[in-house]
Amino acid sequence: NAGVTQTPKFQVLKTGQSMTLQCAQDMNHNSMYWYRQDPGMGLRLIYYSASEGTTDKGEVPNGYNVSRLNKREFSLRLESAAPSQTSVYFCASSESGSEAYEQYFGPGTRLTVT
Amino acid sequence: GDSVTQMEGPVTLSEEACLTINCTYTATGYPSLFWYVQYPGEGLQLLLKATKADDKGSNKGFEATYRKETTSFHLEKGSVQVSDSAVYFCALGAGGSYIPTFGRGTSLIVHP
């Protein structure tokens, strides 16, 4: 099993450009999450999907949109990138219910916006 | 709301030294507690967990005991290795949201 995969691994964008970060999991998990990690800020939840067909905002959703394409895939879109969105982005997945606290993370996408 | 407080890093140790990374929490009810580890350039991975008071989680030589009376879940290892150099995150799960609350992480650097 590959676990959680993310593409791309690295990306450089200019301010105002758009892009989609892709995430897929092969563990048949119901729940999926997008986090960003910044120095000194820890992990912050952007959006999550508790189950296929549902999405909800996390702590820092502004400037992002998500799509739960099917049970396996959960994408994150930046419509108009800003330098403040320079960060490392992690996708995670988990079972539902009380098992949701045990999350499985992908390797991350390192995004720089100039 | 729920919160997790970890000691600030970096923690710098020599190989074979003892490690303690402090973690305290605030939560309603009876949370589950977790330690995650993030190696350089990778995502987080679950290291150990405890789901009720006095439970001890252990993995790869690391241990942590769920102390309800002190609301703590300190991470310990008797003899660290260079390969343990990483960032360690304490987290809790409580309530009905099923979204874990993470601490800010503690960086561990182990020198040969």
pLDDT tens, residue by residue, B32-91:
999 999 999 999 999 999 999 999 999 999 999 999 999 999 999 999 999 999 999 999
Interface of B with A in 19-38 (CB under 8 A): 32, 34
Q: Is B93 on the interface with A (CB under 8 A)?
A: yes
pLDDT band at A47 (very low <50, low <70, confident <90, very high): very high
Average pLDDT for B3-31: 94
Interface of A with B in 39-58 (CB under 8 A): 40-43, 45, 48, 50, 58
Q: Is B9 on the interface with A (CB under 8 A)?
A: no
Nearest by CB to residue B43, choosing from A31, A102, A106, is A106
Residue A88 confidence (pLDDT)? 98
Least confident of A67-76, A90-99, B65-74, B76-85: A90-99
pLDDT band at B98 (very low <50, low <70, confident <90, very high): confident
The string of DSSP codes covering A29-98 is -SEEEEEEEETTTEEEEEEEESSTT--EE-S--TTEEEEE-SSSBEEEEESS--GGG-EEEEEEEE-SGG
